[in-house]
Amino acid sequence: MATLEASILNQGGPSFTGTQAEAVRFHDDTDQYTGVHAHGGPSTVGGTGGISDLSQLANRGAADVRGVQR
What's the pLDDT band for 11 if we cut at 50, 70, 90? confident
Q: What is the pLDDT of residue 25?
A: 86
All residues at 6 or more sequence positions from 63 whose CB lies less than 8 Å from its CB, including other chains: 69, 70
Q: What is the pLDDT of residue 29?
A: 87
pLDDT greater than 70 at residue 17: yes
d(CA 18, CA 20): 7
- 27-62 pLDDT, tens digit each: 888 888 888 888 877 776 665 566 777 777 788 888
